[in-house]
Amino acid sequence: MKSTASPTVTVCANDNQSERSMGRTTKRPADGSTRPAEPRQVGAGELAERVGRWLEVERFADYCPNGLQVEGARPIRRLVSGVTASLALIDAAAEAGADALLVHHGWFWKGEDACLVGLRGERVRRLMASGMSLFAYHLPLDAHPELGNNARLGRVLGLAVAGTGGERDLVWHARLDRPTAAAALGRRIARRLGRRPLAVGALDRPIERVAWCTGAAQDYLEDAIALGADAFISGEISERTTHVAREAGVVYFAAGHHATERYGVQALGEAIAGACGIEHRYIDVPNPV
């Protein structure tokens, strides 16, 4: 078990002062006068390079490429973020006049048919026709100590991080102020996420230590138990999850894959907008799973 204190990482910690001028396309005139600021923009490659450094994408062996997955036709002035690069999100982003789409669930997953036919072909056609770039960050965005899905979910749920552990350090944990009934914790999750979680396991047990990992991390339940968690929160649930929770005497909350992974990509979009001076907007395409 690996446990680390909550790290504090500043988004631009690896960047120097030139960060502030990133994406400017106009130089100050030779006479030193100042002109009204033109809309900022940034090239897709430059943006990918910058974000890749923030999220340390090279550290991750992932199931998909992280970074610029599709290079669009123009520089980026308006960025739209969302959870999944679905047709609905592509259309909504294009409608919003986006130059780039930033997602957690992109394309080109390992084991997937590489041919761009059928539904995958349609998504690609629609994106290419819009001229937007597509950026996707999967595990590096789950894991980032400041902008990541786990970090942000902890913040949304009001959990003060005590440490991380489990596989790839992706299970985060916190101690509640006082022992809390499972029903009360379930209500807190429902209130904060706007979606009622499914709770299984030892529902009568008071909860003191909570662990969480966003998305489809139900099989990290045993990692959470090894970390001493009384309850584990993730997005999805499998049939087997119920039995593990019951037999270990812990509570498992399936709080929604989409619902738990809405926050990292928004934080990253905001960070990019701040660093590059471009517009950013999050578009939610609701998903009950």
**Which residue, 99 or 261, has its beta carbon nearer to Zn ion?**
261
> Listing from the earlier edge strand, what are the strands of the sheet with 100-105?
67-70, 133-136, 100-105, 78-84, 279-282
Q: Which helix (H) or strand (E) holds 89?
A: helix 87-95
Q: Which residues pair with 111 in a beta bridge?
A: none
**Least distance from C-beta 175 to Zn ion, angstroms?**
26
Quick one: which segment of 29-37, 72-80, 124-132, 257-265 binds Zn ion (CB under 5 A)? 257-265
Smallest CA-to-CA distance from 75 within 27, 124, 125, 25 is with: 25
Binders of Zn ion among 198-237, rule CB under 5 A?
215
**Least distance from C-beta 104 to Zn ion, angstroms?**
6
**Which residue, 24 or 195, has its beta carbon nearer to Zn ion?**
195
Tell me how many degrees the CA angle 32-47-119 measures, rounded to the nearest 5: 145
**Least distance from C-beta 120 to Zn ion, angstroms?**
18
Which residue of the chain is nearest Zn ion when measured via CB? 215
**Least distance from C-beta 56 to Zn ion, angstroms?**
19
**Pairing state of beta strands 78-84 and 100-105?**
parallel
Contacts of 239-245 with C-beta under 8 Å, sequence gap 24+, read 241/200, 242/200, 242/201, 245/200, 245/201, 245/202, 245/221
With 0-12 / 13-18 / 19 or more C-beta atoms within 10 angstroms meaning exposed / middle / buried, residue 196 is: middle
Tell me how many degrees the CA angle 243-162-152 measures, rounded to the nearest 5: 80
**Least distance from C-beta 190 to Zn ion, angstroms?**
20
Quick one: which segment of 23-31, 166-174, 192-200, 260-268 binds Zn ion (CB under 5 A)? 260-268
**Least distance from C-beta 94 to Zn ion, angstroms?**
23
List contacts with Zn ion (CB under 5 A). Answer: 215, 261
